[in-house]
Amino acid sequence: MPESQETVFLRSNAIIEPLVDRFYAWMHIVAPAQGSMNLANVQVPLLESYLHSPQVHIAASNNPALRGGYFINVEEARAAEVGELLDTIKRERGEMLAFAAAIAEADELLRQNATGFDLTPLYPKLPPALNGLVELAYDTSNQASVHVIEPLLYHSPVFDRRRQSVQLSLDDGVERPFILSTPRLPRPDALDLPIPFDHPGLDALMKARIEGTTLARLREALELDDEQAARLGRLLAPEPSLAPDRHIDSGGRIRYFGHACLVLQSPEAAVVVDPFISTDNRHGDRYTLDDLPDHIDLVLITHGHQDHIVLETLLQLRSRTDAIVVPRSSRGNLCDPSIGQYLKSMGFTVIEVDDFDEVPLPGGARVVATPFLGEHSDLDIRAKSTYVVQLAGLSVFVGADSSGIDPVLYQYVRSHLGDVDKVFLGMECDGAPLTWLYKGLLTRPVTKKMSDSRKLSGSNAAQAADIMTELGANEAYVYAMGEESWQGHVMATTYTPDTYQIQQIEEFLTWCKAHDVAAEHLFNKREWRW
């Protein structure tokens, strides 16, 4: 352990996993309404299932064909700890479980009584857990639903920061357990801190990646005891590991950091898109946190899925980022939580945008929010956005997982913003079914056939070609879609050359070649300079 007054830096391969009731934190288990429903409808039943048959879960977790399934990968010898976690949740999260039950009861109340007439008589019949926190409303097709007043929920018993903690460890290259299913139990090689995500000590620790500090200062900032300080010392090094070329002094640069993460830079500005960044710098085959600029003007979030708004990475960037740009939600829709409210609750500075809103950048650059179609299983989700970034004389379309299901949209984008030079696009064109990610939020069951028909899918080859044609772009780059080695704990995807998605990418690349469009299927890292 370093002496407490020596200058130290946070190691490049330090992992900071944010946890909620020991499950890996992402928006749908942190946001109060969605967190309550996932706790009641997914996590509690999952823990109960494991305790009933631990060996079934362990076998399934080790079966490649079931990768990404809802199975807890905890050895049977630690089943008692899983039982203690379940008991704690049932004992201490009563308000959340009651809220989830109340939502289901209110939905049934509407189903039985909302027949197109006045909803006012139903308010006294609502469960007490919902009083003051919801509104009942019809849509224009006369279908009634419950709308939550989301900002109030962050100040109600349904949102409890005592659920939050962080687990710190060193990245050894071994794939971590799948985040949607396996809770993080204490480990001898990890430091567990029972602090909320907005704790100022976390920013002090993250700043230590680029600014020297001392163990004594970090110990005070994080409120550590002797044993915790000793464990933190293992995460510190006497020298920083920052890349010398992390800034540029002329022109423009884009770096692909894997999955859907891009870093766009000019000498005056830096923009990071959907940061999901490796902490393992031993291989040289990827950009890591070491390669990020010291100061980031804007982080752009395209949508709320767990592989695009990665809290583990965002917490590491909070102290060096001016603001996070997020798409505005539809307010109160249970399947469409506010990304802005979520991030503000953790101390981030947030700019919410609607379609075609502009955010200026230093040096005359700008970001323009553009519409995002598809990829959300046909749910009414507004908190999704693509972006056009115009920087250092180049116009870049950041398409994320959007679908080209209506090519005319991109005619409007082009007429509004002009031709685009480069297009970045995901082509997960046969995504997971509706219930894989949204089961906890569904108040009425759907059949398997119905769920399977509503995929979390982006563009196929024809749709991607239509996007290119309508935007007038001459360069196309397809994301790796979770194929990089460090993303298995979040993505849990496995592709072969015969996989439909890969075949569609190849078909699109063939189309690009026939139409004189430069195109690549990205993997690990790539850089463009101009």
Length of the chain: 530
CB distance 285 to 524 below 8 Å: yes
Adjacent-strand bridge partners of 98: none
Q: Which residues contact 314 (CB under 8 A, 6 or more apart)?
A: 275, 299, 324, 343, 348
Gyration radius from the chain CA atoms: 23
Distance CA 61, CA 63 (A): 6
User: What are the φ/ψ torsions at residue 120 (nearest 5 degrees)?
Assistant: -55, -40
| Nearest Cα residue to 14 out of 231, 199, 302, 330 | 231
pLDDT at residue 329 tops 70: yes
Distance CA 306, CA 448 (A): 23
Adjacent-strand bridge partners of 475: 422, 518
Where residue 55 falls among pLDDT bands split at 50, 70, 90? very high
**What is the 3-state secondary structure of 476-527?**
EEECCCCCCHHHHHHHCCCCCCCCHHHHHHHHHHHHHHHCCCEEEECCCCEE
DSSP code of 176?
Answer: P
Where residue 357 falls among pLDDT bands split at 50, 70, 90? very high
Distance CA 136, CA 148 (A): 9
- Could you read off the pLDDT of 456-491 as tens digits, one per residue? 999 999 999 999 999 999 999 999 988 899 999 999
pLDDT at residue 212 tops 80: yes
| Nearest Cα residue to 20 out of 345, 383, 455, 453 | 345
Distance CA 421, CA 254 (A): 13
Identify the pLDDT of residue 4: 79
Identify the pLDDT of residue 482: 87
Instruction: Specify the DSSP element, H or E, that contains 137.
Output: strand 134-138
Q: Within 10 Å of residue 198's Cβ, how many Cβ atoms?
A: 16
| Nearest Cα residue to 33 out of 145, 150, 132, 128 | 150
- Could you read off the pLDDT of 108-167 as tens digits, one per residue? 999 999 999 999 999 999 999 999 999 999 999 999 999 999 999 999 999 999 999 999
pTM of the model: 0.97
Distance CA 182, CA 393 (A): 46
- Could you read off the pLDDT of 260-303 as tens digits, one per residue? 999 999 999 999 999 999 999 888 999 999 999 999 999 999 99
CB distance 242 to 210 below 8 Å: yes
Identify the pLDDT of residue 186: 97
pLDDT at residue 75 tops 70: yes
Distance CA 388, CA 278 (A): 25
* Residue whose token pair is 């849509």: 139
Distance CA 177, CA 187 (A): 13
CB distance 254 to 262 below 8 Å: yes
The CATH architecture to which 253-529 belongs is: 4-Layer Sandwich (3.60)
Q: Which residues contact 94 (CB under 8 A, 6 or more apart)?
A: none
Indicate the average pLDDT of the chain.
97
Distance CA 192, CA 171 (A): 15
Where residue 1 falls among pLDDT bands split at 50, 70, 90? low
- What are the structural domain ranges in the chain? 7-93+160-237, 94-153, 253-529
The C-alpha torsion from 406 through 446 and 336 to 121, rounded to 10°, is: 120
CB distance 350 to 344 below 8 Å: yes
CB distance 346 to 198 below 8 Å: yes
* Angle at alpha carbon of residue 35, lines to 189 and 39, rounded to 5°: 75
Identify the pLDDT of residue 243: 97
Share of the chain above pLDDT 90, in %: 97
Distance CA 463, CA 478 (A): 13
CB distance 126 to 116 below 8 Å: no
